[in-house]
Amino acid sequence: MIRLIATIELAPGRRHDFLAIFRLLVPKVRAEEGCLEYVPAIDLATSIAAQGPVRDDVVTVIEAWESIERLQQHLAAPHMLEYRRAVKELVRGVQLQILEPA
């Protein structure tokens, strides 16, 4: 199993618009073979000292996949291509961190 943390930086003030589109994608991805987890999340303000500042224009996606091969298939899936076109004007940048158990 691998895990992936996707940090999606959005145009200022467009998180609500992005999430409306993203939520339509989630069931399609969760139905993919090899998808174990696919959860969008936003920063939560807390009083925990080690926490960084809240990022109002960021969505983090927490994913788990059976294998790199399944992740690669996901990235090339038709619904992912459609999603990227739909959010093109909303997304400023994406960073992926792919992890394996230690």
CA distance 44 to 95: 20
Topology annotation, domain 2-99: Alpha-Beta Plaits (3.30.70)
**Domain boundaries along the sequence of the chain:** 2-99
* CB atoms inside a 10 Å sphere around CB 15: 19
What strands, in cross-sheet order, belong to the sheet with 58-65?
35-41, 58-65, 2-10, 91-99
pLDDT at 82: 97
pLDDT at 40: 98
pLDDT at 97: 98
pLDDT at 94: 98
Taking alpha carbons only, the member of 74, 5, 61 closest to residue 33 is 74
Cα 16-22-27 angle, rounded to 5 deg: 140
Provide block-wise average pLDDT over 10 residues at a time, the chain (102 residues).
98 98 98 98 97 97 98 97 97 98 94
